[in-house]
Structure 1
Amino acid sequence: MSATSPERVASRQRDATVADTRRRVPRTDALLADPAIAARIAELGRDLVKATVTRVQQRCRDGAIAPEAVPAAVLDALPPRAATGRPVVNATGVLLHTNLGRAPLSPAARAAVAASCGTSDVELDLDTGRRGVRGAGALAALRAAVPAAEAALVVNNNAAAVVLAATALAAGREIVLSRGELVQIGDGFRLPDLIASTGARLREVGTTNCTTAADYRAAVGADTGLIVKLHRSNFTIAGFTAEAGIDELTGLGVPVLADLGSGLLAPLPLLPDEPDAATALRDGADLVCFSADKLLGGPQAGVLLGRAATLERLRRHPLYRALRPDKLTLAALEATLRGPAPPVTAALAATPADRLRRATAIAELLRGNGIDAVAEPSEGVVGGGSAPGVRLPSAAVRLPTRYGEPLRARDPAVLGRLADDGCLLDVLAVDPADDRLLADAVLAVARCR
């Protein structure tokens, strides 16, 4: 009988070790009953947690981790929340960053959303127990905020507002619009294509830089369903220019829609060239529409204000059913209008000195911990298609460029901008309550280097 070779002995020992490790892998039911893991089930759901447990158990069977390390490895592998999206500290210097969801909601709006997460009276009159007006509170708040409006209507976003108005008032007919207002918005969407999708025909008037009231009058005829006056939300035209005001377009026998885009309810001295709803209605517009998640500072929604009879035509149109907002949007919008000033309004009200003071305090804290940081004046923008060309005096903390990527990888992520061989953390859009969070994120990145 031949002797067993050393290689075969070693192989058997490894097999025995692997088999022993596999036997010692904690059972799925035991892991799911672990108090710390069970607590995450309440946050993330059983299916997601169980799938993570299965993956970590396989790592243990493969010998990558020891059996006693499995519970901690499961907790480390679980995501911080059920949704994949991460919160972001907006240090870009763009106040309304479309890719970051534009306006952050106010504490009042967040509380209203939380209160409406269950069943709510979104379309029920609790006084009578009968069906009520959908979002009656939000509609009343809009009318109170803009007394010149006879009625209000809310849809998914401002593009939906334009589509609904064009469909209800001009499907199969002409819409008159200046050539200088044929805009293209983000991701390649073009207004002419949007109008064409409604079944209306676009009648272009004037030139790129000059369109007069006479151009509109010459175009309006029996087949005209609507005149649209569009705010150039993301570009400006300078030099030899001319455009007709809303007050010059009324009285032509067709409704006038003023697409204001950015959502100012009344004039704002800081942005004197930005159109507002109250002025447009006083000038005679039958309808105005705008986004609620821009300068209004609310949730994503499209707001329509104007004549009651015209808005009732839109509300009764079958397309409205497909475009109406949900209860959470209506709750957040009402709270934005009735509650304290939202973060966007507070940010615009801050002075350049306020912003520089905050940036200086953050930079001093970082330098005190050995980080190369300096505060400096900067320029921000409103963003989100609002106030094109307007620069807002701001302040930023300058860090070495290498901080940009690891700050973006954190949770919450911190998003600055890379410029002039540095990573700039602009405080324009950062809530002052988050200044310490911003500094702590930089400190954490520095400790990991």
Structure 2
Amino acid sequence: MPAGAHVVNNGAAALALVTSALAVGREVVVARGELVEIGDGFRIPELLESVGARLREVGTTNRVRVDDYAAAVGDETAFVLKVHPSNFRVTGFTSSVPVAELTALSVPLVVDIGSGLLAAHPRLPDEPDAATALRDGADLVTASGDKLLGGPQCGLMLGRADLVERLRRHPLARALRVDKLTLAALEATLRGPTPPVAAALAADAADLRARAERLAAAVADVAAASAVASVAAVGGGGAPGVELPSAAVSLPHDLAAALRTDAELPVVGRVEGGRLLLDLVAVAPDDDAALVAAVRRAAAGRG
């Protein structure tokens, strides 16, 4: 089936446009455990209702089955919505329904993957991605263009060409469109050099440790520095609970303020166990020399 894509100004706008185009005055079937808050007090159920849809909640907070969805689907159903809780995890006695099972229902399936991962990533085995969702039969996938994709803030809608065209021609699409700078930044993310998010996810812990040892040695004459193992979080509203093996330069904690306020290169680390840690998973190798210079300036100012 032909596929299409459309871009709006953020992930919430993508879901609002889908709902406006397909579900005004009709029902959207969604699991209770997927009625998430997406930040700054905004909530998925209120977003859907604000553009004219009625919610049909199924399952419980922690468990939902395909039979729950099937029993709720009827003549008033516009689509089934599956929402990935991309900024939190529910563990223990839980169950959800995979995309492939939901495609057996007789209505369109919209999958909001949240964090914008376009293809499966070996370090993020539990994070849904657009390619897999579409291959498993989703009619539309909505996602953010920042977060795990690492591009500009925008909202992506991918899927059936006929549905995407309905979205593109809907009157609300004009109000939610992005400008040329956003489109250029998104194209550069997809076709240009590796963005920082992708580079950080691919970083090798042994390489990071070797860099940390070199950097610690480069500032050891002005500060008590050492290379230590570290654990990094993905952050940015994606892959909650995932830990990335990393390495950091450990420094005296009293350098933290001076580094944060450095006029040439502000450096933000974290204080842990009484030490300031500069985790190198968030530092590009090309910036190592500048980082050394910033530490040396901070140490000189402390003296």
TM bucket normalised to smaller: over 0.9
- With normalisation by structure 1, the TM-score equals 0.65
Establish whether residue 235 from structure 1 lines up as the match of residue 88 from structure 2: yes
Q: Which residue in the other structure is 1:321 paired with?
A: 174
Q: Deviations over 1:408-447 (max 9, x none)?
A: 1224321111221122111111111111211211111111
Q: Which residue in the other structure is 2:63 paired with?
A: 210
Whole-angstrom distance in 1 between the partners of 2:96 and 2:252? 47
Q: Which residue in the other structure is 1:13 paired with?
A: none
More helix by percentage = 1
Establish whether residue 154 from structure 1 lines up as the match of residue 7 from structure 2: yes
Whole-angstrom distance in 2 between the partners of 1:342 and 1:295? 10
1:273 to 122, 126, 131: 126
Give the aligned residue type for 2:112.
Answer: D
Structure 1 residue 297: Cα displacement: 2.1
Q: Deviations over 1:118-139 (max 9, x none)?
A: xxxxxxxxxxxxxxxxxxxxxx
Whole-angstrom distance in 2 between the partners of 1:423 and 1:172? 55
Structure index of larger Rg: 1
What are structure 2's unaligned runs of at least 5 residues? Answer: none
Whole-angstrom distance in 2 between the partners of 1:435 and 1:393? 19
Please report the RMSD computed on the Cα atoms of aligned residues, expressed in angstroms: 1.5
Q: Deviations over 1:276-334 (max 9, x none)?
A: 11110111111001111122222111111000111111111111111111101111111
Whole-angstrom distance in 2 between the partners of 1:348 and 1:276? 15
Whole-angstrom distance in 1 between the partners of 2:257 and 2:42? 30
Percent same amino acid at aligned positions? 59
Q: Which residue in the other structure is 2:250 paired with?
A: 398
Q: Which residue in the other structure is 2:204 paired with?
A: 351
Establish whether residue 428 from structure 1 lines up as the match of residue 263 from structure 2: no
Q: Which residue in the other structure is 2:107 paired with?
A: 254
Q: Which residue in the other structure is 1:413 paired with?
A: 266
Whole-angstrom distance in 2 between the partners of 1:398 and 1:181? 40
Whole-angstrom distance in 1 between the partners of 2:15 and 2:154? 12
Number of equivalent positions: 301
Structure 1 residue 351: Cα displacement: 0.8
Residue pairs, 1:44-63, within 5 angstroms: none
The answer to whether the Cα contact below 8 Å between 1:233 and 1:386 also exists between their aligned partners in 2 is: yes
Moved more, 407-416 or 210-219: 407-416
Q: Which residue in the other structure is 2:72 paired with?
A: 219
Structure 1 residue 210: Cα displacement: 0.9
Give the aligned residue type for 1:211.
Answer: V
| Runs of 4+ in structure 1 over 6 Å off | none
Residue pairs, 1:7-406, within 5 angstroms: 150-368=3-221, 370-406=222-258
Q: Which residue in the other structure is 1:136 paired with?
A: none
Give the aligned residue type for 1:447.
Answer: A
Larger RCO (CA within 8 A; separation ≥ 6):
1
Whole-angstrom distance in 1 between the partners of 2:49 and 2:266? 40
Task: Give the secondary-structure state (helix, strand or coil) at the position aligned to 2:277.
Answer: strand
Whole-angstrom distance in 2 between the partners of 1:375 and 1:156? 41
Whole-angstrom distance in 1 between the partners of 2:214 and 2:146? 30
Task: Give the secondary-structure state (helix, strand or coil) at the position aligned to 2:90.
Answer: coil
Structure 1 residue 149: Cα displacement: 6.5
Task: Give the secondary-structure state (helix, strand or coil) at the position aligned to 2:186.
Answer: helix
The answer to whether the Cα contact below 8 Å between 1:149 and 1:305 also exists between their aligned partners in 2 is: no
More strand by percentage = 2
